[in-house]
Amino acid sequence: MARIDKKTGKKVLSGSLLGAGVLLAIALFIIVNYFGWKYHQRFDWTESQLYSLSEKTENVLAELDRDVEVVVFMSPGDELFSAVSEQLARYEAGTPRVEIRYVDPEKNLLEAQTLVDKYELSHLNVLVFDSGDDRRIVDSTELADYDYSGMQYGQNAQLTGFKGEQVFTSTLLDLMESRKPRILFTTGHGELSLDDQSPEGMSLARELLGKDNFELEEWATIGQAQVPPGTDLLVIAGPDSTFLEPELQMLRSYLAGGGRMLALLDPTLAIGGGLVPTGLESLLLEFGVEVGDDIVVDPSNPLPFFGAETLFVTSYSDHTIVRSLDQAQLPVVVALARSVGLAPEIEGYQMQELMRTTADGWGETGIDNLEAVELDERDLLGPVPLAVAVEPASEVAEGEEGAPSDPAAESAGPEGQMRLVVVGDSDLATNTQLQNVPNATFLANALNWLVERETLVGIPPKQPEQVKLSLTRTQLSRLTWLVLIILPGLVILAGLTVYLRRRR
Q: Do 320 and 395 lie in a common domain?
A: yes
Q: Would you say the C-alpha torsion 86, 88, 93, 99 has a positive or negative sign?
A: negative
Task: Give residue 502's pLDDT.
Answer: 72
Q: Quote the DSSP letter at residue 151.
A: G
Task: Give residue 399's pLDDT.
Answer: 42
* Residues with Cβ within 8 Å of residue 252, at least 6 apart in sequence: 283, 286
The answer to whether 453 touches 181, Cβ cutoff 8 Å, is: yes
Q: Do 116 and 189 lie in a common domain?
A: no
- Residue whose C-alpha is closest to residue 335's, from 360, 363, 307: 307
Examine residue 461 and state whether it is found in any structural domain, yes or no: no
For the stretch 150-202, pLDDT in tens is: 655 666 777 777 888 888 988 888 888 777 789 999 999 999 999 999 999 99
Greatest mean pLDDT among 141-150, 351-360, 478-487: 351-360
Q: Do 130 and 198 lie in a common domain?
A: no
Examine residue 222 and state whether it is found in any structural domain, yes or no: yes
The pLDDT of residue 338 is above 80: yes
User: What is the DSSP code string of 383-445?
Assistant: SPEEEEEEEE-HHHHTT-TT----GGGGGS-TTS--EEEEES-SGGGSHHHHTSHHHHHHHHH
Task: Give residue 269's pLDDT.
Answer: 85
Q: Do 330 and 445 lie in a common domain?
A: yes
For the stretch 236-269, pLDDT in tens is: 999 999 999 999 999 999 999 999 999 999 998 8
Q: Quote the DSSP letter at residue 372.
A: G
Q: Do 384 and 317 lie in a common domain?
A: yes
Residue 379 — φ and ψ, nearest 5°?
A: -80, 160
Task: Give residue 458's pLDDT.
Answer: 55
Report how far residue 486's alpha carbon sits from residue 492's, in angstroms, rounded to the nearest whole number: 10
Greatest alpha-carbon span in the chain: 130
SS3 134: strand
Q: Quote the DSSP letter at residue 455.
A: G
What average pLDDT does range 403-408 have in this prediction? 41
The answer to whether 309 touches 269, Cβ cutoff 8 Å, is: no
Task: Give residue 101's pLDDT.
Answer: 93
* Residues with Cβ within 8 Å of residue 409, at least 6 apart in sequence: 257, 258, 416
Q: How many domains does the chain have?
A: 2
Report how far residue 28's alpha carbon sits from residue 34's, in angstroms, rounded to the nearest whole number: 10
Tell me what percent of the residues of the chain surpass a pLDDT of 90: 33
274: domain CATH number? 3.40.50.880
Residue 361 or residue 142, greater confidence: 361
The pLDDT of residue 405 is above 50: no
Please say which residue of 174, 209, 235 terminates a domain: 174
The pLDDT of residue 424 is above 90: yes
* Residues with Cβ within 8 Å of residue 228, at least 6 apart in sequence: 184, 219, 411
Cα–Cα separations (whole angstroms), residue 215 to 220, 232, 281, 313 = 16, 10, 28, 30
Q: Do 138 and 202 lie in a common domain?
A: no
- pLDDT confidence tier of residue 412, bands split at 50, 70 and 90: very low
For the stretch 31-44, pLDDT in tens is: 877 766 665 555 55
Please provide the size of the chain in residues: 504
The pLDDT of residue 397 is above 60: no
Tell me what percent of the residues of the chain surpass a pLDDT of 70: 78
The answer to whether 388 touches 352, Cβ cutoff 8 Å, is: yes
Examine residue 14 and state whether it is found in any structural domain, yes or no: no
The answer to whether 412 touches 232, Cβ cutoff 8 Å, is: no
Residue 385 — φ and ψ, nearest 5°?
A: -70, 140
Q: Do 243 and 264 lie in a common domain?
A: yes
The mean predicted confidence, pLDDT, of the chain is: 81
The pLDDT of residue 404 is above 60: no
Report how far residue 221's alpha carbon sits from residue 477's, in angstroms, rounded to the nearest whole number: 70
Examine residue 211 and state whether it is found in any structural domain, yes or no: yes
Task: Give residue 310's pLDDT.
Answer: 78
Q: Would you say the C-alpha torsion 282, 288, 294, 295 has a positive or negative sign?
A: negative
Task: Give residue 116's pLDDT.
Answer: 85
For the stretch 471-501, pLDDT in tens is: 677 877 888 888 778 877 787 787 778 777 7
Please say which residue of 413, 434, 455 terminates a domain: 455
Count of CB atoms situated within 10 Å of the CB of 5: 8
The pLDDT of residue 467 is above 60: no
The pLDDT of residue 47 is above 80: no
The answer to whether 317 touches 352, Cβ cutoff 8 Å, is: yes
Task: Give residue 51's pLDDT.
Answer: 60
Residue 213 or residue 232, greater confidence: 232
Q: Do 369 and 223 lie in a common domain?
A: yes
Task: Give residue 354's pLDDT.
Answer: 96
Task: Give residue 286's pLDDT.
Answer: 92
Task: Give residue 229's pLDDT.
Answer: 92
What average pLDDT does range 387-393 have in this prediction? 92
Q: Do 169 and 207 lie in a common domain?
A: no
Examine residue 500 and state whether it is found in any structural domain, yes or no: no
Q: Do 239 and 305 lie in a common domain?
A: yes
Task: Give residue 465's pLDDT.
Answer: 58
164: domain CATH number? 3.40.30.10
Examine residue 22 and state whether it is found in any structural domain, yes or no: no
Q: Quote the DSSP letter at residue 462.
A: B
Q: Do 255 and 317 lie in a common domain?
A: yes
Residue 72 corresponds to which amino acid?
V
Region of poorest pLDDT, from 76-90, 160-174, 369-383, 457-471: 457-471
The answer to whether 211 touches 138, Cβ cutoff 8 Å, is: no
Task: Give residue 241's pLDDT.
Answer: 93
For the stretch 269-290, pLDDT in tens is: 888 778 899 999 999 999 999 9
- pLDDT confidence tier of residue 403, bands split at 50, 70 and 90: very low
Residue 313 or residue 310, greater confidence: 313
The pLDDT of residue 461 is above 90: no
Report how far residue 325's alpha carbon sits from residue 367's, in angstroms, rounded to the nearest whole number: 31
Report how far residue 427's alpha carbon sits from residue 424's, in angstroms, rounded to the nearest whole number: 9
Please say which residue of 174, 199, 232 terminates a domain: 174
Cα–Cα separations (whole angstroms), residue 105 to 69, 70, 81, 455, 500 = 18, 15, 13, 31, 56
Examine residue 357 and state whether it is found in any structural domain, yes or no: yes
Count of CB atoms situated within 10 Å of the CB of 119: 16
Examine residue 441 and state whether it is found in any structural domain, yes or no: yes
Task: Give residue 396's pLDDT.
Answer: 40
Q: Kindly give the interhelix angle for 55-63 and 81-94, rounded to the nearest 10 degrees.
A: 50
Greatest mean pLDDT among 46-60, 157-171, 412-426, 437-451: 437-451
Residue 124 or residue 333, greater confidence: 333
Q: Do 206 and 284 lie in a common domain?
A: yes
pTM, to two decimals: 0.67
SS3 356: strand
Residue 213 corresponds to which amino acid?
N
SS3 84: helix
Residue 205: which domain range?
A: 180-455
Structural Rg of the chain based on CA atoms: 31
Beta pairing class for 260-264 and 126-131: unpaired
